[in-house]
Structure 1
Amino acid sequence: MARSLDGLVLAPVVDQAPGQVGTRTRFAYHEEDGRIWAEYAGGDVVRGRLVGTRAGDRLDFRYVQLGTDGTTSSGHCVSDVVELPDGRIRLDETWEWESRAGNGTSAVEQVT
């Protein structure tokens, strides 16, 4: 199992579609006893929160966010925690919106 996410800041590797998380978004992760949560903001996201669980190297969480255009969105994500060769953490994500149509994959990596 990769190390704890607690206290780590992660950022997307590439931009998603407009109005979503992008390379200017930063996620501040917390982890305790198999529970994870994070606050995020930046780019087209004014404020976002996620909350879920971790079992081994698998995260399962729900997210909700407020966009710069005033819309709110929510969804579900499952992520695999990967330790990169340089020691940083990467999350390989599979997500789906629950408040609107759409799904996809993305990756966020630890910011040094």
Structure 2
Amino acid sequence: MASTPRSHRSLDGLVLSPVADQAPGQVGTRTRFTYHEEDGRIWAEYAGGDVVRGHLVGTRAGDRLDFRYVQLKHDGSTSSGHCVSTVVELPDGRVRLEESWAWESQEGSGTSVVEQLPS
């Protein structure tokens, strides 16, 4: 019996937030990411906590996101990096992104989880 390809839930218009704070001066639970998606391209704006303004841009293949990000903090510093995320659908229908990231403008790397905020 042939299986039907799974449709992937669009991220377009979703607002997500980290489930835990990262290191001081980085994104945290007060940061909000607003995602957009079209034809395998993804982008988002984010702000909150120590981040005045941030942007990410990249691609989506199935449930894998690959993007670069850049952000401006309240102290006037900027930073940028690369992230690969896996899109997971939660039992309640919300979306979770399980992320592996690395700074390119400074030292540091890690993992994080962001989840869609309840409506």
- The Cα of 1:69 is off from its aligned counterpart by 1.1
Percent of aligned positions that are identical? 82
User: TM-score scaled by structure 1?
Assistant: 0.99
Aligned to 1:34: 40
Structure 2 SS opposite 1:47: strand
Alpha-carbon RMSD across the aligned residues, in angstroms, is 0.6
- The correspondence for 1:100, drawn from 95, 102, 106, is 106
Q: Aligned partner of 1:19: which letter?
A: G
CA distance in 1, matches of 2:74, 2:114: 21
Aligned to 1:56: 62
Q: 4+ residue runs of structure 1 moved beyond 2 angstroms? A: none
Describe the superposition over 1:29-60 as per-residue Cα deviations: whole angstroms up to 9, x where unpaired.
00000000000000000000000000000000
Aligned length, in residue pairs: 112
CA distance in 2, matches of 1:34, 1:25: 25
Conservation of the 8 A alpha-carbon contact between 1:9 and 1:111:
yes
Gaps of 5+ in 2: 1-6
User: TM-score scaled by structure 2?
Assistant: 0.93
Aligned to 2:14: 8
Higher relative contact order (CA 8 A, sep 6+): 1
Gaps of 5+ in 1: none
